[in-house]
Amino acid sequence: MPYDDETHRTLSLDAMLADLEALVTCESFSDDHAAVARCAQVVADRGRRLLGAPPQTLVVAGVTHLRWTFGTPRVLLLGHHDTVWPTGSLATHPWSVEDGIARGPGVFDMKAGLVQMFHALATLPSLDGLCVLVTGDEETGSATSRALVEDLARRCTATLVLEPSAPGGALKTGRKGVSRYDITAHGRAAHSGLDPEKGIDAATEIAHQILALRGVADAVTASAGPGTTVTPTVVRAGTTGNTVPARATLRVDVRVPDAAAQEETDRLVRALEPRVPGARLEIDGGPDRPPLDPAASRELFGLAAAEAARLGLAPPRGAAVGGASDGNYAAGTGCPTLDGLGAVGDGAHADHEHVVTAAMPGRARLLARLAETLRGPRAPRVPGAPR
């Protein structure tokens, strides 16, 4: 039986909230691999019930990922079940639903998106041509899952990402690229009271580099255009209160609007020179997630707008955002990618994280329509994309 607009009648908000409670109350802090494995089992159980098939469980370097494949994959549905919330956060941020607002660690980013996805796919007459990948390390950079994402995206004609929406429910039609660097200053220890002049202060060297990084962002803006941010995040130095620091470290987060800015930023960061006489710099890291160019989402966004109109839903809005996701990796392979199809709400990674529950069935209906349309011969392509 073909999918029709009345299929949404099978979607139950109560059932969706019951599954959401099960996911949120099973904590899955990215760095706690045992917790991630427990949550993967809860996700697998929901997927098995709603999709009619168990997933393939993939454990890579201790991290648990789940994959469902139906026939020859043409459409990738992509999400993650790990969160930024340390194990035990339920004590301070308990699960609750009150006045149409669901709260709890990871409820918005992105366990509600997983629930919407499973319930959406359960309404389809066939899942042939669909592939579902739920990873367990997206929040820490996808070190063990990037290859899984990219391999599937290369084989598909569209990727739908269940990350939470942008403000107001907007779909994410562009994302900045991400580069990460670890800068280590090597100096020489000495007693800070008896003979500080014999030391080489690594902490002072790192302070110089923090100031120099301001100039990197300005230079990239001048040469490649606006939108690049270079942010020092974590600084560590010293061993005792009376010793000249022999070693200091600095972590740097870079966000770029396009590939040219990412390349230029990388060149300038690697060209940093030590300022303290005798100090030595070590620079590790580099480009991580490529930018998700709006061209990768353009045709899929148009399709989403058309399907929303057929369903009587409000016209979707698009938004370019600074945060990155696994959608960046999918788009980087040349696969058309639409992100932000998950929950409507706010507060990702923050104390006020929440989901607007009334929006969940409508988002699921839209996803079902997109998946059903795209698993057929209608597959938007990015002009000039390598396929």
Cβ contacts of residue 91 below 8 Å, gap of 6+? none
Grouping H, G, I as helix, E, B as strand and the rest as coil, residue 362 is helix
- Report whether pLDDT(1) > 50: no
* Residue 69: Cβ within 10 Å count: 17
**Ranges of H-type helices in the chain:** 13-24, 33-51, 112-121, 146-155, 202-224, 259-270, 298-311, 326-332, 360-374
**Mean pLDDT calculated for residue range 27-38:** 98
How far, in whole angstroms, is CA 126 from its chain's centroid? 28
Q: What are the beta bridge partners of residue 133?
A: 67, 78
Q: Look at strands 96-98 and 56-60 and give their pairing.
A: unpaired
Gap between the Cα atoms of 381 and 200, Å rounded: 56
| Per-residue CA distances from 71 to 25, 130, 211 (Å) | 33, 7, 54
Residue among 324, 361, 357 at smallest CA distance from 24: 357
**Mean pLDDT calculated for residue range 315-337:** 95
- The string of pLDDT tens digits covering residues 284-304 is 999 999 999 999 999 999 999
**Per-residue DSSP letter, 351:** T
Axis-axis angle for helices 259-270, 202-224 (nearest 10): 150
- The string of pLDDT tens digits covering residues 177-198 is 999 999 999 999 999 999 999 9
More reliable by pLDDT, 150 or 3 = 150
Axis-axis angle for helices 13-24, 33-51 (nearest 10): 160
Go through the domains of the chain in sequence order and give each one's CATH number: 5-176+291-374 (3.40.630.10), 177-287 (3.30.70.360)
pLDDT-based confidence at residue 10 (cuts at 50, 70, 90): confident
C-alpha torsion sign, points 41, 45, 51, 52: positive
pLDDT-based confidence at residue 38 (cuts at 50, 70, 90): very high
The predicted pLDDT at position 105 comes to 98
pLDDT-based confidence at residue 379 (cuts at 50, 70, 90): low
DSSP 65-127: EEEEE-SS--EEEEEE--BSSPTTGGGTS--EEETTEEESTTIIIIIHHHHHHHHHHTTSS--
pLDDT-based confidence at residue 225 (cuts at 50, 70, 90): confident
Q: What is the mean pLDDT of the chain?
A: 94
Q: Are 185 and 274 in contact (CB under 8 A)?
A: yes
- The string of pLDDT tens digits covering residues 88-130 is 999 999 999 999 999 999 999 999 999 999 999 999 999 999 9
Give the dihedral of Cα atoms 296, 298, 302, 308; nearest 10 deg: 60
pLDDT-based confidence at residue 321 (cuts at 50, 70, 90): very high
The predicted pLDDT at position 381 comes to 54
Grouping H, G, I as helix, E, B as strand and the rest as coil, residue 280 is strand
- The string of pLDDT tens digits covering residues 228-276 is 999 999 999 999 999 999 999 999 999 999 999 999 999 999 999 999 9
- The string of pLDDT tens digits covering residues 138-158 is 999 999 999 999 999 999 999
Residue among 134, 94, 124, 146 at smallest CA distance from 351: 94
Q: Are 249 and 183 in contact (CB under 8 A)?
A: yes
Q: What are the beta bridge partners of residue 254?
A: 179, 230
- Report whether pLDDT(384) > 80: no
